[in-house]
Structure 1
């Protein structure tokens, strides 16, 4: 038996790749897992790292590095559940890495020290061996916070995510973002056939801008998706120049992880924001692009693992969530569009949101299914370095199926027009909840299984016979 070669099914079996952000798509994780298991596939989640809101904004301000909130959210969501409730440690670890500190900065700082010093109730059901494996990375980030404290810049612990602090500490300790992800996955028991891939593997921050159809530009993901304050009224060029000059001068007196002269909008603390209450954008988003710290457009390469996963995939899924700040930032990276358009990716499934949000819902022109598809296809097109957008006849290179809900507030679906373009539509009935329509898990799983098919049981017999003989 020792002479038999070790089988590596991960390298040969088919794969499902899911493009998604954090919180919205977390509700579908079990469904994607079930479909992948039924199909006998590996599962890869591609997650953007351009978020500069919430507690991530303070980590970026003080330490630089990628926006890690969505990556941490997905890893923690993937921790296997214990239906029996016997494994109290597993539940405690999930609670630990999901925990947010107090919304009061002073109380949050005290709470953080209790966690670092192992006195907090969060540690109660975590065994000492695992506790002492986690604490060194919390100590690392704590030491760095103390070292970087200046009269002009002190770390704000308000509403900080313990999981985000752990990932940052692990990244600083190892010097590798992917090593930090691997460590958190190993500690929490994330299944081995599921991987969470940051869209860009980087120790640096990557920000995005949005160009609107009226010619205006919004800088930073937080300002695009859920700004902390209402959008400012348009200013005259002279007023804008004076304001930016003062802001640059003020920010250059602050010692943080940003280069002097970096855009002030990228150096702000965006800890407090409300996703539920946002005003409409003045016009539709035309395109998204990455920028350097000074606001100039750049074209970064994706994490090599993203391209590798797509090349092994038979199915790509664009999940629910924020179209322009969760999905598009992953698609516009160099060569991603070519990989998705390749013949091996047979199914390219867009799951439409159950409601319209700020990014897709200017009151005068809410998005329909064709608009969502055009945005996805346009992003894949730009990843090839091509100008403009592809013709509608080429949309099916990037989207083959649209799964959608029916009900009040859902995006309209131009079924006949999409059928004419070679794109199939699958309508599901959902339920009301969360400000819009919500997918029924069983119905969505059945719809996805019907599209991608199930594993051929003969493959299992063939594999078993090969091992036996």
Structure 2
């Protein structure tokens, strides 16, 4: 049984936001057992309204991951992702968010609702919230002020010292912890460092399971910095923030881009105060990381995104290369 499991590979991906969905669209094309563990700290937009009105975890990041891993007709996925443009109560809501909210009410439980929705969408793999309840993400800034709410943190105009969750001792979803314990590889990112990735790892049982796991852990570094979160951050700054929050070093590999971002694309990001992440390789190696370079960017409608197919190919290659270490 064990040999068969290693041949296929249990891959756990931890994160949230657009970056996670992009990665999963590539990985689902390979014969691996995928589990996505997704943040439930979002409190803005349609997700925030549903969270507040119905007292359930925010469905937005979960919705995007379900869509990314779904195997349905394109029109069905488009319908699931459809956002109402009207100015009434439906305005701004995504149909998928409303369906997940309905499934939660029908099944009586957020995680159960996601599981049933996964069956409807013929999802390849499992999609699990890091916790089965909403979490409040707060940030302590370098000047000592505190910003409460995930959606407000990037707009504070101040530098983040640390982020933390309320309640502090939230219980992780048991299936998520189990998935990490049974993983052959754990992938962290890509995604917003402080508002998509760390809210998962700061769920104590999730973070401990990741740190205690002996399997290779891969951090997929963001391509661009993010104003309000990682302005002027290098790749090693991202790693150091993760280590500072978790209290120890725990990542084995970092995947970084080795291709310059075209100047005409960089200029489009100027108004967002975003710039390509500088990959300070010597510092990364000093932190004990295996640095994997590759051409992993693609231009999608003037936006820089990870090349989903290339990144997935690299991850699958890493699984094969490290397989003997897991046996």
Counterpart among 32, 37, 50 of residue 46 in structure 1? 37
Deviation per CA, 1:384-405, whole angstroms, max 9, x where unpaired? Answer: xxxxxx4xxxx2xx11111111
1:168: Cα distance to partner? Answer: 1.0
1:282: Cα distance to partner? Answer: 2.0
Show the counterpart of 1:219: 148
Q: Determine if contact 1:324/1:359 at 8 Å carries over to the other structure.
A: no
Show the counterpart of 2:219: 350
Closer, same or farther in 2 for the Cα pair 1:21/1:350, shift >3 Å?
same
Unaligned runs of 5+ in 2: 262-274
TM-score (norm 1): 0.61
Closer, same or farther in 2 for the Cα pair 1:95/1:212, shift >3 Å?
same
- Distance in 2 separating the partners of 1:441 and 1:59: 30
Show the counterpart of 2:182: 312
- Distance in 2 separating the partners of 1:63 and 1:445: 37
- Distance in 1 separating the partners of 2:224 and 2:290: 20
Asked if 1:447 is matched to 2:322, the reply is no
- Distance in 2 separating the partners of 1:76 and 1:92: 11
Show the counterpart of 1:328: 198
Q: Determine if contact 1:75/1:185 at 8 Å carries over to the other structure.
A: yes
Show the counterpart of 2:264: none
Q: How does 1:405-420 map to 2 (within 5 A)?
A: 405=257, 406-408=259-261, 409-420=275-286
Q: Determine if contact 1:410/1:436 at 8 Å carries over to the other structure.
A: no
Q: Determine if contact 1:171/1:177 at 8 Å carries over to the other structure.
A: yes
Q: Determine if contact 2:23/2:312 at 8 Å carries over to the other structure.
A: no
Counterpart among 182, 195, 205 of residue 126 in structure 2? 195
- Distance in 2 separating the partners of 1:431 and 1:93: 26
- Distance in 2 separating the partners of 1:434 and 1:299: 42
- Distance in 1 separating the partners of 2:6 and 2:256: 32
SS at match of 2:76: helix
Asked if 1:73 is matched to 2:6, the reply is no
Q: Determine if contact 1:355/1:436 at 8 Å carries over to the other structure.
A: no
1:329: Cα distance to partner? Answer: 0.3
SS at match of 1:28: helix
SS at match of 1:27: helix
Moved more, 445-454 or 303-312: 445-454
- Distance in 1 separating the partners of 2:234 and 2:66: 32
- Distance in 1 separating the partners of 2:119 and 2:6: 20
Counterpart among 205, 208, 218 of residue 338 in structure 1? 208
- Distance in 2 separating the partners of 1:67 and 1:373: 27
SS at match of 1:44: strand
Q: How does 1:211-250 map to 2 (within 5 A)?
A: 211-225=140-154, 227=155, 231=156
Show the counterpart of 2:252: 400
Closer, same or farther in 2 for the Cα pair 1:80/1:32, shift >3 Å?
same
Asked if 1:282 is matched to 2:169, the reply is no
Deviation per CA, 1:112-149, whole angstroms, max 9, x where unpaired? Answer: xxxxxxxxxxxxxxxxxxxxxxxxxxxxxxxxxxxxxx
Q: Determine if contact 2:256/2:294 at 8 Å carries over to the other structure.
A: yes
Asked if 1:209 is matched to 2:61, the reply is no
1:455: Cα distance to partner? Answer: 10
Q: How does 1:107-118 map to 2 (within 5 A)?
A: none
- Distance in 2 separating the partners of 1:441 and 1:11: 23
Closer, same or farther in 2 for the Cα pair 1:157/1:407, shift >3 Å?
same
Closer, same or farther in 2 for the Cα pair 1:13/1:68, shift >3 Å?
same
1:51: Cα distance to partner? Answer: 0.5
Q: Determine if contact 1:407/1:437 at 8 Å carries over to the other structure.
A: no
Closer, same or farther in 2 for the Cα pair 1:436/1:412, shift >3 Å?
farther
- Distance in 1 separating the partners of 2:36 and 2:117: 15
Q: Determine if contact 2:198/2:242 at 8 Å carries over to the other structure.
A: yes
- Distance in 2 separating the partners of 1:371 and 1:435: 26
Moved more, 93-102 or 160-169: 93-102
SS at match of 2:277: coil
More strand by share: 2
1:187: Cα distance to partner? Answer: 1.2
Q: Determine if contact 2:200/2:207 at 8 Å carries over to the other structure.
A: no
Deviation per CA, 1:70-116, whole angstroms, max 9, x where unpaired? Answer: 111111222215xxxxxxxx3332222111112411xxxxxxxxxxx
SS at match of 2:152: helix
Show the counterpart of 1:115: none
TM-score (norm 2): 0.85
- Distance in 1 separating the partners of 2:233 and 2:245: 16
- Distance in 2 separating the partners of 1:401 and 1:219: 32
1:57: Cα distance to partner? Answer: 1.6
Question: Which has the larger Rg?
Answer: 1
SS at match of 1:43: strand
Q: Determine if contact 2:298/2:307 at 8 Å carries over to the other structure.
A: yes
